[in-house]
Amino acid sequence: MKNVQPKRATLKDIARKAGVSSTAVSLVLNNKPNRFTEETRDLIRSIAEDMHYLPNQTARSLATQSSSLLALIIPDIENLFFASLAKHMENECRRQGYSLLIVDTSEDVNEQSSAISRVTQLGIDGLFIVPTFGTAEYNAQLLDELASTHVPVVFIDRIPEQINQGVADRKWRALAYDHSVGGRLAAQHLIRSGHTKIGVIGPVKRHALDSGNNTADNSVDHSARFEAFLDELAAHNIVPQDDWIIDSGFSLAQGYNFADNLLHAGVSAVFCGNDLIAVGFLRRAREQGYAVPADISLIGYDDVMGAFGLDFELTTIRQDVEQLAKRSCEMMLDAAYVDSGQGNVVLLKPELSEGYSVAKV
């Protein structure tokens, strides 16, 4: 015998039991202005609760032309920075009355294109995107693709160079941290601590890819934080040897795999392109019998360790992810409801977060 699913309660069912109209029930349950007594409003809410009423989101969307659904496309959910961003974005969207759909593209441009198509077909009210690494030509195509969706878009963390340089053919909204400031802060802290033999691990070199790490002077590829770091060292007559600069990716494995190169090179401090690299480096250093910071100092970038319960107090460059999420949501709501047609590119200032991984020498 087939299981018969109980009938879902409707506004009419509640109205019939309360002795009021369906319109009255809709006004009360949606907290719309009405002239009913508090007793009537309480009765309607009580009946709705007893009948386990759930609003029909599809019907509500048709009536309001709003799905109350936003989407966030990120390039790597395993990266602690993006995982933290997704968490704070979901919290902030929920606080604003929206559900958030999160899609990971694994740094794949084809998957990103597919993701954009899938989420926009769901009738989302807006799209947040941290674009995957791509050439300037690809990013131009990405902007065209996003423009064709006709939904509000906010870029987060990585801003395509066409937007930062003001040459895009429409106005866009984007929010990120200024990584040239972050790179200089990291260098200044190591210099103040007396270090002169300094190594670097991360995507240091300027590649053809435009990954959108941002600076106020519109140099937006992912080497920006490293260029600023090395420029600050040079301003103090500190020039690392070529083999002290390791061009790598942003993963924990990269920090672990390349640690030996710098541990055996005689450097006293290492600037890691993000906290994941620093964690990998630290793990390998401990395996080799090195103590941090007694034997070698580390400075990271992002400041997301605490959000995941990691108790190692790393000195790092702090990007306030909660603030980034909050400001991004505010920007989206402005795009969705004000729709002034004006673009808005905002670069926030990172800060030094001092832990216990940098020693004075």
Q: pLDDT for 242-281, tens place per residue?
A: 999 999 888 899 999 999 999 999 999 999 999 999 999 9
In a domain, 323, yes or no: yes
Instruction: Kindly state the average pLDDT of the residues 102-111.
Output: 93
In a domain, 15, yes or no: yes
Instruction: Kindly state the average pLDDT of the residues 160-169.
Output: 66
In a domain, 361, yes or no: no
Helices and strands, counts by H and E, the chain: 13, 12
Domain that holds residue 332: 68-177+319-346
Same domain membership, residue 289 and residue 331:
no
Same domain membership, residue 281 and residue 194:
yes
Instruction: Kindly state the average pLDDT of the residues 48-75.
Output: 72
Q: What is the pLDDT of residues 185-209, one digit of tens each?
A: 999 999 999 999 999 999 887 544 4
In a domain, 332, yes or no: yes
In a domain, 171, yes or no: yes
**CATH code of the domain containing 247:** 3.40.50.2300
Please say if the pLDDT value at position 212 is more than 60.
no
Same domain membership, residue 100 and residue 191:
no
In a domain, 285, yes or no: yes
Same domain membership, residue 194 and residue 158:
no
In a domain, 356, yes or no: no
**CATH code of the domain containing 24:** 1.10.260.40
Please say if the pLDDT value at position 214 is more than 60.
no
Same domain membership, residue 158 and residue 186:
no
Q: What is the pLDDT of residues 84-96, one digit of tens each?
A: 999 999 999 988 8
In a domain, 334, yes or no: yes
Mean pLDDT of the chain: 84
Q: How many domains does the chain have?
A: 3
> Residue 98: helix, strand or coil by DSSP?
coil
197 forms beta bridges with none
Same domain membership, residue 297 and residue 184:
yes
Q: Using CB atoms within 10 A of its CB, is residue 22 exposed (0-12), middle (13-18) or buried (19+)?
A: middle
- Residues of the chain above pLDDT 70, percent: 83
Q: Given this model, what pLDDT does residue 155 score?
A: 94
Same domain membership, residue 305 and residue 235:
yes
C-alpha span between 177 and 150 (Å, rounded): 27
Same domain membership, residue 196 and residue 104:
no
The confidence band for 307, taking pLDDT boundaries of 50, 70 and 90, is low
C-alpha span between 166 and 169 (Å, rounded): 9
The confidence band for 150, taking pLDDT boundaries of 50, 70 and 90, is confident
Residues 6 or more apart from 206 whose CB is under 8 A from it? 221, 223, 227
Same domain membership, residue 338 and residue 291:
no
Same domain membership, residue 163 and residue 81:
yes
Same domain membership, residue 198 and residue 307:
yes
Instruction: Kindly state the average pLDDT of the residues 6-17.
Output: 80
